[in-house]
């Protein structure tokens, strides 16, 4: 079996996911328009390739990604594991509730009458789950992540978690997680909530290994699964040229230089930077799976090829010995 389709159990719940998962932000029209037929082809190609775990959110395309994912997976006739997210609801636009987050304008082809609003309340969580189930056309959700709670982690712990815990007890959801961007609030989340899994973007990559300093240790203590997103740090690790982005902002000259040095070292071993980037997170035993988005079949097949490529241990040793990448802390 190819590496991308190998199944691994989420430690605390009865769900097996593939080591490579498909994220659906691009299929919701992140930055670039995606036709319905292309979205369906990409999802069905992933299914046919043996990928079993799919992540989505109401934010992605303001409901479009959930609808597209549910439609394609229900056509596939195969078993799958779905995670979606809570913490934002889609409200009708009025002058008072025009989107509070400028970055949310990154999605194209969205319903112009909708705007995403942060809502970590009990009512907001229940509404979010109910609307996601309707868009996905499934009877239950495998994993519900509290989405982008980095700056509102106290609210997520006090208000959102208790209702998700009730839904988990009732079987409406199987597992609870957080989908985060930074280590400090993620550590607080793992310590103060009974989480089955976390999704963290960009904090365990070739350019940033900060998640292993404390977060992974807390996850191992609680037997909490870890999914790593943002393996390219939003683009710099796919193509480290002037103007590249790091965490969706222009990358510093220093970071671009470091990414170029990593790329050069890898070239000596004939290993593409993208292959090392997508495989790196699974080197740590705390990591359960890697999540990447694709907007086309071509992107998906390239990601699978990179993920399955054999990279000799000498390559990782050389990266560590160069000081460009920190050693794996077990």
What's the pTM value of the predicted model, to 2 decimals?
0.96
Of 60, 62, 107, 246, the catalytic one is 60
CA 32 vs. chain centroid, Å, equals 18
pLDDT at 52 over 50: yes
What digits encode the pLDDT tens for the residues 107-156? 999 999 999 999 999 999 999 999 999 999 999 999 999 999 999 999 99
Query: Tell me, what's the pLDDT at 101?
Result: 54
Which residue did the predictor score with more confidence, 248 or 28?
A: 28
Domain locations in the chain as residue ranges: 3-322
Query: Tell me, what's the pLDDT at 98?
Result: 64
Query: 248 catalytic, yes or no?
Result: no
What digits encode the pLDDT tens for the residues 191-216? 999 999 999 999 999 999 999 999 99
| DSSP per-residue letters across 142-197 | EEEEEES-GGGHHHIIIIIHHHHHHHHHHTSEEEEEEEES-HHHHHHHHHHS--SE
Mean pLDDT, the chain, whole residue set: 95
Strands 20-23 and 289-293, bridge-based pairing: parallel
Query: 85 catalytic, yes or no?
Result: yes
- Under the banding of pLDDT at 50, 70 and 90, the label for residue 106 is confident
- Under the banding of pLDDT at 50, 70 and 90, the label for residue 99 is low
Of 52, 55, 247, 263, the catalytic one is 55
Query: 148 catalytic, yes or no?
Result: no
In this prediction, residues 323-327 reach a mean pLDDT of: 97
Of 85, 188, 258, 263, the catalytic one is 85
CATH 3.20.20.100 fits 3-322, yes or no: yes
């Amino acid at each position: 079996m190819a590496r991308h389709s190998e199944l691994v159990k989420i430690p605390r719940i009865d769900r097996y996911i593939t080591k490579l998962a498909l994220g659906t932000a691009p299929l919701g029209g992140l930055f670039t328009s995606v036709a319905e037929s292309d979205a369906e082809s990409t999802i069905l190609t992933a299914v046919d390739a043996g990928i079993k775990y799919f992540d989505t959110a109401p934010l992605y395309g303001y409901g479009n990604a959930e609808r597209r994912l549910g439609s394609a997976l229900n056509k596939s006739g195969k078993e799958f594991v779905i995670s979606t997210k809570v913490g934002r609801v889609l409200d009708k636009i009025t002058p008072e509730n025009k989107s509070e987050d400028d970055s949310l304008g990154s999605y194209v082809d969205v319903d112009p009458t909708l705007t995403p609003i942060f809502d970590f309340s009990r009512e907001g969580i229940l509404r979010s789950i109910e609307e996601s189930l309707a868009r996905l056309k499934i009877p239950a959700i495998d994993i519900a992540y509290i989405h982008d709670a980095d700056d509102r982690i106290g609210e997520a712990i006090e208000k959102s978690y208790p209702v998700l815990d009730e839904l988990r007890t009732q079987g409406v959801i199987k597992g609870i997680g957080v989908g985060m961007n930074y280590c400090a609030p993620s550590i607080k989340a793992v310590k103060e909530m009974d989480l089955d899994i976390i999704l963290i973007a960009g904090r365990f990559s070739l350019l940033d290994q900060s998640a292993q300093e404390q977060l992974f240790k807390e996850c191992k203590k609680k037997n909490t699964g870890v999914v790593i997103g943002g393996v390219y740090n939003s683009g710099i690790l796919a193509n480290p040229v002037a103007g590249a982005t790091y965490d969706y902002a222009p990358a510093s000259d220093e970071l671009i230089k470091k990414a170029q040095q990593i790329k050069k070292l890898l070239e000596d071993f004939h290993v593409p930077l993208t292959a090392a980037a997508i495989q790196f997170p699974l080197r740590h035993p705390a990591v359960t799976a890697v999540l990447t988005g694709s907007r086309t079949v071509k992107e998906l097949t390239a990601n699978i090829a990179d993920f399955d490529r054999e990279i000799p241990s000498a390559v990782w040793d050389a990266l560590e010995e160069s000081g460009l990448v920190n050693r794996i802390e077990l």
